[in-house]
Amino acid sequence: MDCRVQVGPAVGGGERQGQGPHAAGGAQDGADGVIRAPGMDTLKVPLAAEHTTLDDVSVWEWSGSAYDEGAEAAEWLSAYFGKPSRLVRFKEESEIRPTNPKYAQGYKITFTDCFPFLIASQGSLDAQNDLLKEHVPINRFRPNILVDGCHPYAEDLWKTIKINKLTFDGVKLCDRYKLHKQQAKVSGCEKSSFDAYLTYLQLLECKDKVKKKKKRLLED
């Protein structure tokens, strides 16, 4: 979904974005947002239009007002999800949702979880899958950007990433890899594969603690 639009229940606070229809579009004058889903007609939403304002829309710790994208979008989404839903757009004219200053001070976001982009590498995925009996796909981690040609987990150390004329700052590692057993069961991973994955994560965590302890000893 576009980071400026969010699907939420018809009454009460908003819900966090998740798996669902695919959206594309921009908020330039006259532009439409386009939402597609299996078995559904394409929905076009005029993102530049001003609609009724809904209050008490929330994402994690933030709550505020947002534009309601209208009855047609609500009917389309309600039919797809099988429950009353509405599409709202972040009201950038009056609302501000700052990023966590602990990681990125002075920036703002809209309806993303924490930050607009998540980067991962093919090398990291391949290194993980070498330990698993049943491989997991990259969509398990849902990155916006997938890079190749680097060592496994090299992206964990990148502070600045340049792609063509765009520059990204690496500000925080993502905890998305910490999957619990119920998620693994739903995705079809065998318990033995998941246990091997947990052991691997524990080894990584142990190595990290050793590095930090050595660093503290050197500083002392």
pLDDT tens, position by position, 137-170: 888 888 989 999 999 989 989 999 999 999 999 9
pLDDT at 216: 59
Tokens of 90: 């972040």
First to last CA, the chain: 48
Strand, helix or coil at 62?
strand
pTM over 0.95: no
**pLDDT less than 50: residues of the chain:** 1-2, 11-19, 25-29, 178, 180-190, 210
Cβ-Cβ contacts under 8 Å for 44 (sequence gap 6 or more) = 32, 33, 34, 35
